[in-house]
């Protein structure tokens, strides 16, 4: 650094960067230094990897062969700033890991009484007090617990309505069910998948840091090896299973990810079932019809709204590669007091933001609204320099 001070490298990995041309490229061997507030790229490292760079008229170009992969602009400090952005925003990355780790939260929920897909009605959890590692088993009836008696295991029961006597197990059950509720809600799955969600929750809890064991993970304390997060997936995300039906048949089928299989990297597939017997109920949507008199009132309101916003926008041509977000009118009738106030007809123009695709253009939005602080700053500059504002 400039003051000859050294900084500690806390990690080495890869990052994905969206370049000036919209292409996402991967930078490897990246050092993570907490003290460095700016992202720096070493030209000597790029040179060692057979990249060429040229600077001309304040523009730095880095190319490999005949393809320009990076481009930078020279700023007032005589440094080149690359025209690039993160492929995922900090909020998107945080949300992605939030879903991968099973939606960590602190809200309580009782256990579901809906039978699972395997006809289980009860969940039995075992917790190792030293490592806090948890295992979950699903039972069809409580009589399955006679296994303890047949195996010579002595059971010690707690007093009724005193969960504090078994606080670790009770709190773990609550933590598991919190994750189950969040994962089922995020995945829009029926409650019958609670066993799959609970099994996934236990897998994630064993790989999440715990204050009780000095912020280590139960998996690390139990096995001595740190947890591996590279294979974590979002519950209910699309996945593809390999099949071999013939040379001309598809090699995979689209499935839904419902958890991790212990001991192997693959996951078990569910049995086939009839779509006709498991069809969902149709949603009856209300009819949207307007009387002729109301239609005229709404049309007048639309005309007034368009006239009020005239000269506040410019009509431009659609750029190549860009997609238009369509819009629609929302009509609402506000009933008045009979004999006192007439009903009012309101019309509002809204955009169909649901047409944007997550990961493609979902976060690309533009709203030409000026902040009040910007207006005040502009008026202050005009008054300070005695300018004319039109």
pLDDT in tens, 59-80: 888 888 778 888 888 888 888 8
Report the pLDDT value the prediction gives residue 269, as an integer from 0 to 100.
61
For 119, 257, 345, 352, 390, the CA distances from 143, given in Å and listed in that order, are 15, 31, 64, 54, 83
CATH 3.30.420-classified regions of the chain = 96-256
**What is 84-115 written as a DSSP string?**
-EESS-HHHHHHHHHHHTT-------PPP-S-
Average pLDDT for the chain:
76
CATH architecture of structural domain 96-256: 2-Layer Sandwich (3.30)
What gap in Å lies between CA 222 and CA 131, rounded to an integer? 6
Q: Which residues of 191-216 are buried (b: 16+ CB within 10 A; e: fewer)?
A: eebbbbbbbbbbbbbbbbebeebeeb
Q: Are strands 238-242 and 252-256 parallel, antiparallel or unpaired?
A: antiparallel
- Which of residues 360 and 144 earns the better pLDDT score? 360
Q: Band of the pLDDT at 295, cuts 50, 70, 90?
A: low
Q: In this structure, how many other beta carbons lie within 10 angstroms of the beta carbon of residue 382?
A: 12
Q: Band of the pLDDT at 276, cuts 50, 70, 90?
A: very low
- Spatial contact of 136 and 117, defined as CB atoms under 8 Å apart: no
Report the pLDDT value the prediction gives residue 110, as an integer from 0 to 100.
39
Q: Band of the pLDDT at 108, cuts 50, 70, 90?
A: very low
Q: Band of the pLDDT at 10, cuts 50, 70, 90?
A: confident
What gap in Å lies between CA 104 and CA 204, rounded to an integer? 10
pLDDT of 150 higher than 60: yes
pTM above 0.85, yes or no: no
For 10, 49, 50, the CA distances from 44, given in Å and listed in that order, are 22, 9, 10
What gap in Å lies between CA 177 and CA 172, rounded to an integer? 9
Distance of CA 166 to the CA centre of its chain: 35
């Amino acid at each position: 650094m400039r003051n000859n001070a050294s900084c500690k490298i806390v990690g080495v990995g890869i990052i994905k960067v969206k370049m000036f041309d919209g292409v996402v490229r991967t930078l490897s061997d990246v050092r993570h230094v907490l003290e460095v507030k700016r992202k720096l790229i070493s030209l000597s490292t790029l040179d060692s990897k057979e990249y060429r760079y040229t600077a001309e008229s304040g523009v730095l170009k880095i190319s490999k062969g005949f393809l320009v992969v990076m481009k930078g602009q020279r700023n007032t400090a005589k440094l080149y700033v690359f025209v690039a952005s993160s492929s995922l925003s900090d909020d998107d990355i945080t949300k992605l890991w939030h879903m991968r780790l099973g939606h960590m939260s602190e809200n309580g929920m009782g256990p579901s009484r809906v039978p699972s897909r395997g006809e289980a009605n009860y969940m039995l959890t075992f917790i190792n007090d030293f490592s806090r590692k948890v295992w979950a088993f699903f039972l069809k009836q409580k009589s399955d617990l006679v296994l303890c008696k047949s195996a010579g295991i002595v059971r010690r029961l707690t007093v009724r309505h005193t969960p504090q006597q078994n606080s670790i197990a009770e709190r773990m059950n609550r933590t598991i069910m919190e994750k189950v509720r969040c994962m089922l809600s995020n995945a829009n799955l029926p409650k019958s998948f609670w066993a799959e969600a609970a099994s996934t929750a236990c897998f994630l809890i064993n790989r999440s840091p715990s204050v009780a064991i000095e912020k280590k993970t139960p998996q690390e304390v139990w096995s001595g090896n740190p947890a591996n997060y590279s294979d974590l997936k979002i519950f209910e995300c699309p996945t593809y299973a390999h099949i071999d039906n013939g040379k001309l048949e598809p090699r995979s089928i689209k499935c839904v990810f419902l958890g991790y299989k212990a001991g192997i990297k693959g996951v078990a597939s569910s049995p086939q079932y009839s779509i006709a017997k498991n069809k969902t109920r149709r949603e009856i949507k209300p009819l949207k019809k307007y009387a002729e008199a109301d239609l005229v009132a709404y049309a007048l309101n639309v005309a007034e709204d368009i006239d009020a916003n005239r000269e506040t926008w410019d009509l431009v041509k659609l750029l190549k590669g860009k997609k238009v977000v369509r819009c629609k009118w929302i009509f609402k009738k506000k009933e008045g007091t009979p004999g006192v106030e007439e009903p009012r007809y309101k019309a509002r123009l809204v955009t169909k933001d649901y047409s944007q695709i997550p990961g493609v253009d979902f976060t690309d939005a533009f709203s030409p609204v000026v902040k009040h602080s910007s207006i005040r700053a502009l008026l202050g500059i005009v008054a300070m320099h005695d300018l004319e504002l039109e």
